[in-house]
């Protein structure tokens, strides 16, 4: 046990990631999938007439999960080739099948096809998690659809919006991410059975020049692996543009989550909203009163890493000379798993946040009171004009009173007393009985509540429908 603390461990696995995503990129999943692919190949080759026996296939199936990792590591040290090391290890436990394991295949048959399976399964883990985040935020938006709050542009107070409408801005970005991820997942194809440079020459030789059988072999293996289509042309590998496509959707998700969690951090500073805070959680070792938004900070921190990882597949795809070069391998061992592991972590964390968001309406109301008199000046001018006043005269009166009130706020640190100044000025006597309605925050939020209702009904709920059976999972974070 002590030895595990003597070398570096990736925090993505040791500290953050879910068990299912960690397993998806594990050696156990990788090498057992290699063996399944060898079985699929043998079955298809047997079906198409190659001299492979049912006993050989049964032997392979019996030992598909019996992986001697120690032997494989020893073989790899000796052979300097990971695939051949596992061919030898599998052959050792399947002596009858040894002559036909990996028959006609190249290393990328197992390597690339396994990567595609893992990418597909990774999306299948992430998509329900994203759906749950959206579901929780949709409920939050619905609950607070009509709660007025200060809008901010340039992080300066602007026209009012509602808490629910602002949440829908977050949801709109997440909906784009959902559609992008679904599209990237559905676009994935299998590399299939293509040979060393993608020409299928070795399989054409095995089947004595029968092109139809080679195409059928490709189709059968693709079907057994659970894919509807294989890429019609490949080099030795599937195009590394596929990795760009997959990881770009995750990097885009990271940008969305960084924005959402940055907003939560800003609102926490204003004391208008807080993420969940445990009863015994400590915000600061020095300042006991602090309630730091550490979950949101974690999301932002990891989202930056996920966005930065996007440069790896871009650079890798750009330097795949001709039919392939091996400088993709070491990079992809890191960039592919870390992208999915990081996306998994930030989605789980954001789900936890969204299930426990706290809103403080009284604080929001106080902030509105401080700013609303300034924002209501146009309404006051319009009311005065309707009461028979001159627009330019009224504008000048309001301008002077607003500057005086602003000086009290900025120079004296006092409250905004513009309303009191308006009430004390005889000029505004004709509309004094309208001031309460003119300053009702609900009259400043426009169609925000209606927008929330329509947006959730038309754009969010339909996206979540396929995931309804997976909505009940709750996230308990290890902090």
Q: Quickly list H helices, 192-281.
A: 201-206, 211-224, 241-269
Say which of 14, 186, 284, 437 is annotated catalytic.
284
Query: Which residue, 257, 270, 258, 265, is CA-closest to 149?
Result: 270
Q: Which two tokens stand for residue 149?
A: 């709050």
Sign of CA dihedral 325, 329, 334, 336: positive
> Is residue 198 classed as helix, strand or coil in its secondary structure?
coil
The number of helix segments (H) and strand segments (E) in the chain equals 21, 4
Query: What three-state secondary structure class fits 444?
Result: helix
Closest CA to 105 of 192, 190, 177: 192
Please, are residues 178 and 135 in contact by the beta-carbon 8 Å criterion?
no
Q: Residue 154 catalytic?
A: yes
* Residue 230 DSSP class: B
Distance between CA 270 and CA 72 in Å, rounded? 57
**Is 284 noted as a catalytic residue in this protein?**
yes
Rounded CA Rg of the chain: 31
DSSP E strand boundaries for 390-465: none
The residues, ordered by sequence, that sit 6+ positions from 49 with a Cβ below 8 Å of its Cβ are: 207, 213
Q: How far apart are CA 11 and CA 17, in angstroms?
A: 8
Expressed in angstroms, the distance from the first to the final Cα of the chain is: 22
Closest to 48 measured CA to CA, from 198, 199, 202, 221: 221
Nearest to 41 by CA among 194, 148, 153: 194
Other C-beta atoms closer than 10 Å to the C-beta of 377 total: 19
Q: What is the DSSP string of 80-147?
A: S-HHHHHHHHHHHH-TTTGGGTTTT--HHHHHHHHHHHHHHHHHHHHHHHHHHHHHHHHHHHHHTTT-
Q: Give the separation between CA 185 and CA 117, rounded to whole angstroms.
A: 11
Please tell me whether residue 160 adopts helix, strand or coil conformation.
strand
Round to whole Å and give the CA distance between 88 and 98: 8
| Structure letter (DSSP) for residue 7 | S
* Catalytic residue set: 154, 284
């Amino acid at each position: 046990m002590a030895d595990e603390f003597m070398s570096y461990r990736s925090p993505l696995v040791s500290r953050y990631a879910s068990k299912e995503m960690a397993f998806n990129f594990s050696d156990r999943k990788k090498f057992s999938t290699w063996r399944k692919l060898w079985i699929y190949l043998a079955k298809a080759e047997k079906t198409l007439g190659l001299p492979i026996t049912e006993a050989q296939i049964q032997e392979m199936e019996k030992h598909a999960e019996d992986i001697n990792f120690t032997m494989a590591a020893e073989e790899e040290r000796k052979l300097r080739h990971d695939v051949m090391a596992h061919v030898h290890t599998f052959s050792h436990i399947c002596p009858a099948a040894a002559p036909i394991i990996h028959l006609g295949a190249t290393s990328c048959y197992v390597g690339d096809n396994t990567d595609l399976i893992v990418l597909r399964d990774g999306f299948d883990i992430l998509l329900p998690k994203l759906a749950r985040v959206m579901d929780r935020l949709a409920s939050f938006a619905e609950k607070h659809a009509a709660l007025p709050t200060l809008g901010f542009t340039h992080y300066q107070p602007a026209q009012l919006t509602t808490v629910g409408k602002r949440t829908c801005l977050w949801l709109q970005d997440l909906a784009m991410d959902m559609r992008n991820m679904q599209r990237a997942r559905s676009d994935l194809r299998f590399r299939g059975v293509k040979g060393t440079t993608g020409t299928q020459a070795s399989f054409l030789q095995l089947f004595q020049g029968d092109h139809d059988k080679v195409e059928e072999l490709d189709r059968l293996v693709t079907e057994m692996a659970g894919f509807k289509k294989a890429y019609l042309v490949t080099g030795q590998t599937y195009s590394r543009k596929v990795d760009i496509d997959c990881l770009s959707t995750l990097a885009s998700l990271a940008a969305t989550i960084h924005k959402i969690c940055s907003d939560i951090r800003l609102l926490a500073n204003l004391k208008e909203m807080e993420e969940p805070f445990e009863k015994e959680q400590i915000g600061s070792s020095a300042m006991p009163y602090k309630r730091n938004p550490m979950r949101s900070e974690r999301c932002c921190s990891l989202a930056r890493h996920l966005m930065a990882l996007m440069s790896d597949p871009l650079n890798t795809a750009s330097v795949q000379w001709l039919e392939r070069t091996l400088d993709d391998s070491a990079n992809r061992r890191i960039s592919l798993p870390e992208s999915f592991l990081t996306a998994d972590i930030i989605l789980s964390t954001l789900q936890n946040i969204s299930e426990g968001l706290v809103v403080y309406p009284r604080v929001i109301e106080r902030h509105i009171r401080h700013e609303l008199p300034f924002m209501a000046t146009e309404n006051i001018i319009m009311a005065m004009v309707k009461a028979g006043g001159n627009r330019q005269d009224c504008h000048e009166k309001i301008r002077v009173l607003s500057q005086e009130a602003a000086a009290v706020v900025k120079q004296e640190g006092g409250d905004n007393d513009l309303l009191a100044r308006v009430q004390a000025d005889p000029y505004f006597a004709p509309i004094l009985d309208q001031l309460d309605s003119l300053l009702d925050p609900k009259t400043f939020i426009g169609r925000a509540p209606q927008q929330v209702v329509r947006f959730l009904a038309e754009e969010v709920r339909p996206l979540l429908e396929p995931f309804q059976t997976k909505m009940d999972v709750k996230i308990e974070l290890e902090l």
